[in-house]
Each structure stands twice: as structure tokens, then as C-alpha cells.
Amino acid sequence: MKARWRALWPRALSLRLALMFALASVVLLGALGLYLYQSLEREIAWRDDAALLGRVERMRALIGDGDSIEALRRRPQLYANMLGSQGDLLWVLDGAGRPLIEINPARLPVPALPPGPGVQLQDGAGAGEPSRLAWLQVRQDGRALTLIAGKLLAERSQMLAAYRLKLWLALGAGALLAFLLGWAVSQRGLRPVRTLAARAAAIDVQHLHLRLDAAQQVSELRQLSGALNQMLARLEDGFGRLSRFSEDLAHEMRTPLNNLMGQTQLALQKNRTAEDYQALLASSQEEYERLARMIDNMLFLARAERPDAVLHREPIALHEAVAQLCDYFEGMAEERGIVLLNEASGTLAADPQLLRRALANLLANALRYGSADSPVRIASQRHSGRVDISVTNQGEPIASEHLPRLFDRFYRCDPSRAQPGDSGGLGLAIVRSIMQLHGGAVRVESSAAGTCFTLSFPVSD
């Protein structure tokens, strides 16, 4: 039912505003018209009742001042003047209920009335004609008389029906006028929205640096303008990153491809010995492996950034997991005289494979850029709501201008220091993607005392 109602509800905001304005006006005008109608109905009823009671009292005065009922019957003009229209009724009944005086244009039967003292009112009906009656029981010359004044309600009903028709017509006209006025007001009021939409539509890929002027907007649209400007800033940053990524990717792939083509062209210039061809194949194998690692890392990043990426969290003993990585990198560490210090402890719920890959990338960087004959420390610390795992090495500090872009793809502080076995500038980008998958973050601090990378995993206390 709700879906059907939503389908019937207009999509245009201006039309919605006009309909709601018309609906509010109908409710307001309807309530006002109902109040006026009921007030008029009560006022007419009160006036009719007052007129009926006045007629009964005047008839009693005439009977009290006259000689007899017979004299009044011979002088009908005395009481006929009290009646104003064809809908007015008058009876004077004797004790047996026979009419002595009767003014009854509608030829209604004599109403049956309950006995009671004083003047009384009641609704009556006869021959299908609704009426309102007032009566009084008096005595004259020792006999009981009943004075009845009545009024047919047909005239009142016709007047009220005409008034209701006018109210309905006024309500319809008011609703139509309110709709048209609401449409015009909404069109005028939504003009800043259309202006904002036109300005936003004018910003294309080549002009992402442009921003909407929130200061010139109405107060209700300043928040929207600010949100659109923030979105444009993110888009500009995203397009910039994509452009730099394309350039870096082309540069990274061009180097091994140029090496392969140059070596092959050089080998084809003249006949070579078997040893030369073996050396060429070995060198080509290194370039192929470099390309394979780059493609594997890019594929991992693409999968990690998918919204439907799934983590397989398991409780991991950090000391044992770090010990396995230290055993793996032991040979590389011994070549440079670096000591791996495992100071991790406790457990962490994370994806084991991804955690090992993130720590392996950090350890590889620490061993590659750390000073020879120095320690590399892997430690863990539990805080309120998170677990931090840090990898610290001693060596030349990273300049502060490089720190904000250190986790960008293909970014290197010194491209000339690229080594054959490195990750092609994607290692730290992979670490950041792994931490984003876990809902955590990675940060780096570098000074003369050393460089420290910290993985911060959120945990529930």
C-alpha cells in the first residue's frame, strides 16, 4: 500500500509543495467553514425557538386579556399577525385535544404532546414534514387549554443546504486558488535550487577545481553547497590520484619493458654464445618476475578496495605470528647485520593472511632502508578500543614532505633507490588497504631516532 502511494505521489518537488499547500488550505478552510456552519445552524435554531416561545407567551396574553376563546376565533387577525410565513403553525386545543383555533397551512395533524408544566420545546414530525414545536398549558374560565406554536423546518433546511453548497464551492475555489498560489510560490522559492543545479552541472571533468559560492546562497542551501564543494574536492583529489596512478603505472611498466626490448634487440644484432643467451634469459626472468609482482599487487589492491570484500577474522597469537615472519626474514636480516626483536604479545582478531602480508611489507621496508648492524623492533600494545602493532627501525629519517604521500601507489621518496626485489612502490599502499579492510589505520613517524610504522586495529573491550 505504501509503495502504491509513493508511486502515485508526484516526483516534482514544486508539485508536491503545491499539493501540500492546497491540502493544508482545504483543512484550514474546511475547519473554518464547519465552525461557521455550525454556528449559523445554532443561531438559527436559537432564534426560531425564541420566536416560538414568544408566540406562545403572546397567545397566553391574548387569552388572558380576551373575553373568551370564541371571541378570539371571531377575530383571527389578532393572532394571525404573529405568524410570519407559510411555515408557521398555531393550535389552541381544549382539554380533549380538539382544536379550537388552528392555523395550519401544511395541513399537519394535531401533534401529540406529553403533559408538563411551563413552556416546553420539542421536535415534531407529521406527514413527513419535520417541525419544531413550543407549547404551554393554561386555564381559562375553568377549562384547560393547550397553546401550541410550531414552525416547519423545510425553510431552515433549504437555507442551510444553500449555505452548505456555497461553502463547498468556496472550499473548492479556495483549494484551487491555494494550489495555484502554492505552485507559483514553490516555483519562485525553488529558483535558487535550479540556479545551484545549473552551476553544479557546469562543472565538468576539466573544471573540477571550480567551487560553488556558498556565501551567495540562501541559508537553507549553504549546507548543500558546502556538501557539494566537499564532494567536488574529493572528486578532484580522486581524479588527480587516478591521473598520477596512470602516469606512475606507465612509468613502472615502461622500465622493465624497455629493459626487455633493449636486451633482446642487443642480442639479435649478432650471434651470441650459449652463455650470453643464458644470461639474457636470466635477466629477462628478473624483469618478468618484477612485472608479475606488480600485477599481483595491483590485483590485490583492486580486490581489497571492492565494497563486497570479505574478511576471515580469526584469533591470532601475535608473538607466534611475528616469530614466523622473523624466521622468514632471518636470512635477509643477517646479510645486513640487523637483529629482529620480537616484542609482540597478546591476541588479535584479524585475517591471518592479510595481517602477515601487512607485517611482511613493513618488515621488508625496515630491512631494506634500515641502517646496517641495527635492530628492528616489532612490538604490540593494547589501548582502550584498539591494538597497535609497531615496526621500528633505525636509519635515515623520512623527510616530512614525503610522509603525507608515503602510502600512495607507486610513490617513492627516492626513485633512484629502487631495488630489484622491491614491491614496485605498492607495498605501503597494500598495507593501507589491508588496514582499511579491518576498519583500522596505519600511521608513520620518522625522526633521527628512527622510523616507526604503526598498525592500529579496532577491538571491542
Lowest mean pLDDT among 49-53, 370-374, 421-425: 421-425
Give the whole-angstrom CA distance, residue 232 versus residue 376: 42
Q: What is the mean pLDDT of residues 96-108?
A: 81
CA 28 to chain centre: 28
pLDDT digits (tens, 9 = 90+) for 153-210: 888 888 999 999 999 999 999 999 988 998 888 888 888 888 888 888 888 877 777 8
Lowest mean pLDDT among 5-9, 109-113, 201-205, 452-456: 5-9
What proportion of the chain, given as a percentage, has pLDDT over 70?
84
Confirm if 376 and 391 have CB atoms less than 8 A apart.
yes
Lowest mean pLDDT among 37-41, 262-266, 450-454: 262-266
Above 70 in pLDDT, residue 274? yes
Q: State the Cα torsion 106-109-112-118 to the nearest 10°.
A: 40
Please, which residues have CB within 8 angstroms of residue 95's CB and are 6 or more apart in sequence? 143, 144, 145
Confirm if 408 and 241 have CB atoms less than 8 A apart.
yes
- Report strand pairing: 339-343 vs 375-383: parallel
CA 162 to chain centre: 47
pLDDT of residue 35: 93
pLDDT digits (tens, 9 = 90+) for 64-78: 765 566 666 666 665
pLDDT of residue 173: 92
Confirm if 333 and 376 have CB atoms less than 8 A apart.
yes
